[in-house]
């Protein structure tokens, strides 16, 4: 899969998770209720966060692996 295809395939998920992280951080900073009781930010279900995080980590690892392979190929081809 080409880089452009990889990004196009996963960009919406990355954006949704980033939005969730930002909203969650804002909620935690703004929260004055010592008991907690916050609502989940829109777009990501709190129960889905662990699975989404694992997928994002897997996608990052794959992208890094492909980048390292491309660098090795590029170096070998230039010799």
Domain contains 39: no
Domain contains 63: yes
Asked whether residue 73 carries a pLDDT value surpassing 60, the answer given is yes
Domain contains 65: yes
Output the pLDDT for position 12: 93
Domain contains 73: yes
Output the pLDDT for position 34: 52
Render pLDDT for 25-43 as a digit per residue (tens, 0 to 9): 887 777 655 555 555 555 6
pTM comes to 0.61
Q: Give Cα separations from 3 to 12, 31, 44, 65, 72 (angstroms).
A: 15, 40, 26, 12, 17
Domain assignment of residue 54, given as a range: 3-27+44-78
In the DSSP assignment, the letter for residue 35 is T
The Cα–Cα gap between 65 and 43 comes to 29
Domain contains 59: yes
Domain contains 7: yes
Q: Domain count for the chain, please give it.
A: 1
């Amino acid at each position: 899969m080409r880089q452009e295809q990889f990004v196009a395939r996963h960009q919406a998920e990355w954006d949704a998770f980033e939005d969730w992280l930002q909203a969650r951080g804002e909620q935690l900073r703004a929260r004055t209720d010592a008991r907690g009781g916050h609502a989940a930010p829109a777009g990501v279900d709190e129960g889905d966060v662990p699975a989404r995080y694992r997928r994002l980590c897997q996608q990052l690892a794959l992208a890094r692996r492909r980048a390292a392979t491309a660098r090795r190929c590029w170096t070998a081809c230039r010799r």
